[in-house]
Amino acid sequence: MNNTDLLHEFDRQLEHLISKGYPKASKLGEEDFRNKITPLKSKLKTLHLPDVNLDQGILPFVIVIKNDLIPAEIMMGMTDKDGKFGVTILRPHTSTNFNTIDAVTIPDNEAYLLVDIDRGKKNINLPPNEALSLIRTANRSPLTIDEGIAIVTQFPEFLTKNNCFSLLASRTGKGQRVPAIWINAKKEPNLGWCWDGNPHTWLGSASCGERIG
């Protein structure tokens, strides 16, 4: 994706967040919300990123809004795929019980860019623990809950019934639950969890090349 296209895509994503009601959900006015996000645009000028390829599950970047600014459950509820709004079912936990694993560093900013995204087509049907090893070997990083929501917010069609994705960078301490986003029986985008040792024929583990704050 060339630089001009990257900048246009940034503008599209920012306007989409505003149309979704993110300024109100963050308890900021629209101007303050724009001012918080817009400085990230300049970070794209020096990047060389892949084009959007939904079949292969590749994205150049998404704007990530942290749970610190808007609760993950609220952001997930604003996702929309084929007229169905997202749901969160993390019982017995909530999103705040899931923390970023020690091996992953998240920018300090309340918003940042997630860059060079792969849905995990090559690691479908691998237990999350095995997929994490492959991701690390490739010098890539697993994703967090906030990042998974950001992807489905901007690219709902990225979530497909044959390749939903786990978010291996968010865990409940030493617990075995791994969050994931899939399409449930009601055809809603669903933020839930699976066991870290269980493979699923329809579930891969997403990763990124970089995070920029």
What is the per-residue pLDDT across 29-61, written as a single tens digit (0 to 9) for each?
A: 999 999 999 999 999 988 889 999 999 999 999
**What does the pLDDT read at residue 60?**
98
Contact 28, 110 (CB under 8 A): no
Cα 81 to Cα 63, 120, 157, 183, 211: the distances in Å are: 18, 20, 7, 9, 26
Domain boundaries, the chain: 50-212
Radius of gyration for the alpha carbons in the chain, expressed in angstroms and rounded: 16
**What does the pLDDT read at residue 32?**
97
Q: Is the pTM of this model over 0.95?
A: yes
CA 8 centroid distance within chain: 20
Please determine, for residue 3, whether its predicted confidence score (pLDDT) is greater than 90.
Answer: no
Please determine, for residue 173, whether its predicted confidence score (pLDDT) is greater than 90.
Answer: no
* Burial class of residue 185 in the structure, from the number of CB atoms within 10 Å of its CB (0-12 exposed, 13-18 middle, 19+ buried): exposed
- In this prediction, residues 15-31 reach a mean pLDDT of 97
pLDDT digits 0-9 by tens, 99-153: 999 999 999 999 999 999 999 999 999 999 999 999 999 999 999 999 999 999 9
